Amino acid sequence: MHVLLTSTAVWEEGAMRFSAWFAAESNPWDEILEEARFCEKIGYEGVWIADHFMRPGDDYGPWIECWTTLAALAALVPRVRVGSIVTGNTFRNPAILAKQVAQVDVISGGRVVLGIGAAWQEREHNAFGIPFPTIGGRHRMLTESVQILRSLFDGKRTDFDGKYYTMRDAFLSPPPVQEHLPIMIGGGGEKVMLGIVARFADAWNIGGTPEMLAQKSNVLDEHCERVGRDPASIWRTATANVIISDDAAEVAEARARRGWNIIGSAREVTEEVGKYIDAKVSELILLNHGWGTDKEAHKARFQRFIEDVAPAFR
């Protein structure tokens, strides 16, 4: 079993961790920094940024770039893990991505997690002139890419001859600080994607209800058994939009929205988080999307969760 180390924490089997995901479309940089420092101070253990170049849908508003933002957070927020949720594999050559991630790990002193997925938003590919293969092609690209990334992160001079990528004596210098920089794969496709997770991932991420996660987690276990891997060696993370409120109208309005929502009183939210543990989730990542644009309101929501819900799981 891999023990995933950072400079400050061990990802332990059976532990429940809580992290914060800052919506890149609604938080300008100075507010992301302020919220990240606040979340670090009150006890969150990781901060995450999404990797896209533009918003989904028809909204052409601002969107913060992922890896430059993570580099700045790595320098300015000194304790928590920092990671992408998740990097679009199609956006960058894997050797170039490895170089970027390794440098952010150096800046952070060994606190980076590379979250990566096959990429899904066709609109941004078309807008930026990035090829957008079929889902099968994107899965195959990801399979090649994570092998290259793992080899480079592990300090090996890398030769690779694939359908999508070719490497000749590629290497990273300076290398990552972490002896084993963790790769987290995001996605829930049961036939292919979870098989890729079983073969190559240190961690897995998905959003959804506890019932859905339990079902997909069982499928992941089956893939692990087929490839001879201990299912417990994969750290399982879930993303959710958490809203704690004693206002019945606010709760009803929030529940009417679509998304990965945990909504209700502190007691109800605590019960729901417990279901994620039953679904084998070891880290819950709270997304501040849908919390409005008031940074003080964001802080209050993050703080209430830490004070009223998190103690039940620590």
Measure the CA–CA gap between 153 and 131, rounded to whole angstroms: 26
DSSP 8-state symbol, 89: G
Measure the CA–CA gap between 203 and 285, rounded to whole angstroms: 13
- 43's CB contacts (< 8 A; 6+ apart) are 18, 306, 310
Structural domains present in the chain: 4-313 (3.20.20.30)
Phi, psi (5° rounding) for residue 12?
Answer: -100, 140
Measure the CA–CA gap between 86 and 30, rounded to whole angstroms: 22
Measure the CA–CA gap between 87 and 66, rounded to whole angstroms: 8
The pLDDT of residue 314: 82
Amino acid at 37: R
Measure the CA–CA gap between 307 and 278, rounded to whole angstroms: 22
Measure the CA–CA gap between 171 and 168, rounded to whole angstroms: 9
Instruction: List residues bridging with 204 in a β-sheet.
Output: 185, 236
| Tens-digit pLDDT string for the chain (314 aa) | 333 433 333 345 446 899 999 987 767 899 999 999 999 999 999 999 999 998 877 777 888 999 999 999 999 999 999 999 999 999 999 999 999 999 999 999 999 999 999 999 999 999 999 999 999 999 999 999 999 999 999 999 999 999 999 999 999 999 999 999 999 999 999 999 999 999 999 999 999 999 999 999 999 999 999 999 999 999 999 999 999 988 888 888 877 776 668 999 999 999 999 999 999 999 999 998 777 778 898 999 999 999 999 999 98
